Amino acid sequence: MTSRDERIEYLVERHTRGALDADDIIEFEELCQDPQVAYDLVEALAEQREWQRAFKKSPHDAFVEVVVERSRRAGSSGKFLRSVTEAAQREIDTRDAEPRLKSRRRLLKRGRAARRSFWFPAVLAAGLAAAVLAFAYLQKHTEQPVAVSHAEAIAQIISANDGQILHESTQSSAQANAALFSGTTLVSQSSPLRFQFAGESTSVELQPNSKLILKSGGTGKRMELLQGSVSASVAPQKQPLVIATDFAEAKVLGTEFRFAHEGDSARLQVDKGRVLLSRTKDGASIEVGAGQVAVAPADVSIALSMKLPAPWEQIDIGNVRQPGSVVILDARFSMRACGTDIWEKSDGFYFVYQPLEGDGEIVARVNEIRSAGEWALAGLMIRETLTPDSVHATMMATTQLKAKLRRRVTPAGTTLSTGPSAGNVTLPKWLKLTRSGDVFKGFLSDDGRTWTLVDQDKVRMQSQTVYIGIVGLTVDNGGLSTMLLDSVTVRDARKP
């Protein structure tokens, strides 16, 4: 096996484990000079082993066979077909010294014929077996296109519990199978709202407490995100699907991603494929690859970082002038964060979180806070929603050498704060925050074993799923402060 074959096998193995990253995709761009086609080739590689088994061919021959079959499936998308076929030709040309060259070129010729006639001769029973395998793969890994009954509808709701649909002068409850039209506004409340575009497998999940407008026209599909966030799996598009906020827009040809409207910025996380993110104000843009996160603020440079390890997510909540970031290594967190404060009736801060259902607790040691402004804080939070005025309980330490249990017991209500005052708490210090029903408790410790109760209070959270994690901010948006924490653990009381 040549080094090229070994690399292909390695990439296939990574793809089947879900570990393929942006650098792997870039390797394939050297073959076809087109990011989208490169990704399709990697998808083809994942099927390579099944095709190899069906056709009893070498890995390389099976790969070429898959590429040609992909060309046939693509129908009338001329640019895509040319790129894939040319990629197959270049792949074959690297093997000029091999005796199977003529048979491979025959495969390529048949692929070109398939572009014109849209059929591919079966290779006796093996061809049928391959078709069955391909169909099974597609059934397993893609959603089926939905059929919408109304001729003017562009999408259909798949699932919803308590959302709203606003179209023209009418308002109705969001229900499964409801038709959606260009100009429709969707509002999710305490649970996600999921819909799918008509005639294709593109599906979108509007996260809780979010709002967007659907549009469709000659330039393709467009979603305007007014509040909250969405995640999506986008089928290959002839024209880019555009999703926009006030601050940036993302152009998508086919990928899986999450896009969020966060205070004065937009955050894009790409799980699969590539997305072009452009800032609305000045057109500054950046290409975001699989496993990467980009934040586009209104007034500073677009920041690019790596996706957080599951189940952690990140968001800037409220008035945050510069986007936060974090590096997570095991249970060690190195954060940079800006914001206003967790105070009064609305908050502004950076939040690294994961979902929590029911009772639980979070523990961490705050080793150091390097303030970029007047003062900064780091701490632990359990929050009902990701809106600035949400109810919450937060156990924090500050550069003013104080530790507080802060909480907002009603949405948009006044924040309460109790605990050791300024000058009494030096770092490093262990923090713990617990939830048992509606009772939240904040603790301090010098060693992580013996705990002192700071205070406790009742905070009623009605949502089944809430958010638990690490917070950081620099008061009054004074710059990006650095927070160093370790021994971060989250315990879900439902799990052993």
pLDDT: which is higher, 31 or 300: 300
> 484-496 pLDDT, tens per residue?
999 999 999 887 7
By residue count, the chain amounts to 496
Q: Quick check: 303 pLDDT over 60? A: yes
pLDDT for residue 31 is more than 50: no
Is the pLDDT at 275 greater than 80? The verdict is yes
- Report the pLDDT value the prediction gives residue 292, as an integer from 0 to 100: 87
Evaluate whether residue 100 is within a structural domain: yes
For residue 81, pLDDT over 70 is answered with: no
Asked whether the predicted pLDDT for residue 363 surpasses 90, the reply is yes
Mean pLDDT of the chain: 79
**441-460 pLDDT, tens digit each:** 999 999 999 999 999 999 99
| Residue 464 maps to a domain | yes
Q: Is 280 left (phi over 0), alpha (psi -120 to 50) or beta?
A: alpha
Over range 362-374, report the average pLDDT: 96
Determine the Cα–Cα distance for residues 308 and 418; give it in Å rounded to an integer: 32
254, 287, 305 - which closes a domain: 305
User: Is the separation of the CB atoms in 154 and 216 below 8 Å?
Assistant: yes
**Does 130 score more than 50 pLDDT?**
no
pLDDT of residue 139: 43
Same domain? For 368 and 485 the reply is yes
Do residues 39 and 135 both lie within one domain? yes
Q: Which of 119, 141, 163 is the last residue of a domain?
A: 141
Within this chain, do residues 478 and 330 fall inside the same structural domain, yes or no?
yes
Is 31 inside a domain boundary? yes
Please write the tens of the pLDDT for every residue from 250-266: 998 778 898 988 877 88
- Same structural domain, 399 and 419: yes
pLDDT for the residue numbered 281:
85
On the question of pLDDT at 219 being above 60, the answer is yes
In a domain, 147, yes or no: no
Query: pTM for this structure?
Result: 0.57
* pLDDT range class, residue 98, cuts 50, 70, 90: very low
Considering the domain architecture, whether residues 435 and 367 belong to the same structural domain is answered as yes
Mean pLDDT, to the nearest integer, of 379-397? 97
Q: Rounded mean pLDDT of 258-284?
A: 87
38 HSE (CA, 13 A, CB side): 22
Tell whether 149 is covered by a domain: no
Whole-number pLDDT of residue 387: 93
Q: Is the pLDDT of residue 383 over 70?
A: yes
Domain count, the chain: 3
Residue 221: its pLDDT value, please?
92
Q: Can you give the CATH number for the domain in which 463 is found?
A: 2.60.120.200
Which of 25-34, 156-165, 345-354 comes out lowest in average pLDDT? 25-34
Instruction: Tell me: do 190 and 299 sit in the same domain.
Output: yes
**Domain identity same for 106 and 169:** no
- Residue 320 sits in the same domain as residue 394: yes
Q: Residue 358 pLDDT > 80, yes or no?
A: yes
Using the predicted structure, report yes or no on whether residue 344 has a pLDDT greater than 90. yes
- Per residue in 53-79, pLDDT (tens digit) is 444 455 555 555 555 555 555 443 444
Bridge partners of residue 217, in order along the sequence: 220
pLDDT tens column, 113-124: 443 433 333 333
What is the spatial distance between Cα 233 and Cα 204, in angstroms, rounded to a whole number? Answer: 7
Bridge partners for 173 per DSSP? 164
- Whether 163 is in a domain gets the answer yes
Residue 96: is its pLDDT beyond 50?
no
Q: Residue 411 — very low, low, confident or very high, per pLDDT cuts 50/70/90?
A: very high
Give the residue from 270, 288, 305 where a domain finishes. 305
What does the pLDDT look like over 148-206, one tens digit per residue? Answer: 445 688 999 999 988 999 988 889 999 999 999 999 999 998 889 999 999 899 999 99
175 and 89 in one domain? no
Residue 481 lies in a domain: yes
More confident residue, 8 or 412: 412
Span of 203-217, 254-268, 326-340, 460-474 with lowest mean pLDDT = 254-268
Residue 428 to residues 397, 448, 477, 483: CA-CA distances in angstroms?
10, 11, 24, 11
* pLDDT reported for residue 116: 41
Range of the domain at 82: 3-141
Q: Does residue 370 belong to any structural domain of this protein?
A: yes
CATH number of the domain residue 297 falls in:
2.60.120.1440
> Which of 384, 389, 310 has the alpha carbon at shortest distance from 349?
389
Q: Are residue 183 and residue 299 in the same domain, yes or no?
A: yes
Same domain, 279 and 318: no
Q: Report whether pLDDT(277) > 80.
A: yes
Shared domain for 233 and 260, answered yes or no, is yes
